[in-house]
Structure 1
Amino acid sequence: MRRPLVVIVLPLVGMFVLGGCAVGKLLGGMAQNAEYQKEIEVHPVYSGLENKTVAVIVDVDLVTLYQYPDVAVTLAANIARRVQANVPGITVLAPSRVSQWQFRTPQWNAMQYSEIAERLNVDRVVHVDIYEYRLHPPGNQWIWDGVCAANIGIIERDGYDPDNYVDRFNISVAFPDMTGVTRENATAGGVQTALWTLFTRETAWLFFTHLEPKHPKYYNGRIKEGRYDG
């Protein structure tokens, strides 16, 4: 009864003795994969939203708004929800109130920054000024090449100079992350939802400590909501 056991074990032993190079490659590959799945803690670039009342306001040019009427309200709501869930002590003004104020005040983007904060009655305003938004490359409606790019300005109502941004950032995301994706491979709704998700994540990450993949190109996991969900 012992002979079958010897027959099974010896080939395994031989594999490790004679195939040391292969085993080394296997272990090296496992170590490399573990490295690719590592996550790093990243601190906020701007922490001044903590324990403050905040409004998120999105500005989009009329041409873009005509083509994509939901982009401003959707991004404002998504960013507001994400920072409310993750920034300590923050109180975010309801996005519906902000959008209603924008509608009632059509020249709001010509106001002094301090007046915007006063009218909304908040300590901080996250001003998202979208300067590029598209789903296709110019002149080609058959290819998906989505881009959402904006300047993010922070208004501090109680700051030294409330009529100027205390800090400013640029966020630009693209989807798909490969060329040649056509209408046969994806839908407009899918591309737009992906752009909104990426842009919301990158913008909100400016304001709270979070986890990011150390090697995003090779990362294949998911981190909890409020952390990484790329």
Structure 2
Amino acid sequence: MPRKHSAARAGVGPDADTKSARTRARILDAAAHVLSVKGYAGTRLTDVAEYAEVQAPAIYYYFSSREELIEEVMFAGVAEMRRHLKDVIDDLPADTSVLDKILAAVEAHLRHELELSDYATASIRNSGQIPEHLRTRQRKEEAAYGRMWRKLFDEAVAEGTIDPGLDVRTAQLLVMGGLNWAAEWFDPRKFSIDDVVRNAQILVRNGLTAA
């Protein structure tokens, strides 16, 4: 069963209620789902059209090519994840510890990646398959997303929360890499998202903090 799509769809602005905007959003949603399941090489516009319930030629009214459509999905996947993490962190109580903020970020990343957004899964699973010229906007969003995590880790270092024996940049990349890899093995028929989040938080907490 396909997951829910994020409410913040790429390219949907003030005119989101128009029929054209809704159709464009539906095509993007369909492309995100197909790309997350079949990968870059296996994504065909006919599959996207079928899932979006439109005629394949209609896609070209909104996107000039298959590549442009995929590029938009890849960008949206990271952009949505960044906005989601910002919202989660901003909504935490003011007295939340930095470690608890990191653990909240772990949960936000996993739930958005595995439960909420086909865009995020598509972007994460296909990053190594997409031609480099299609990744310019995605890379900028990835850098912005990474800076949000870096700020949390730097604050944890300043507080003395992180084990001084750890290299903070390496630790950050290992945590984010592990979270991203969940998109490759997670199967809701075999794993509970709650259990995955809980185990990830335990690993991160015990792995980052000093004995």
TM norm structure 1: 0.25
TM norm structure 2: 0.27
Between Structure 1 and Structure 2, the one with more helix by share is 2
Greater C-alpha radius of gyration: 1
Between Structure 1 and Structure 2, the one with more strand by share is 1
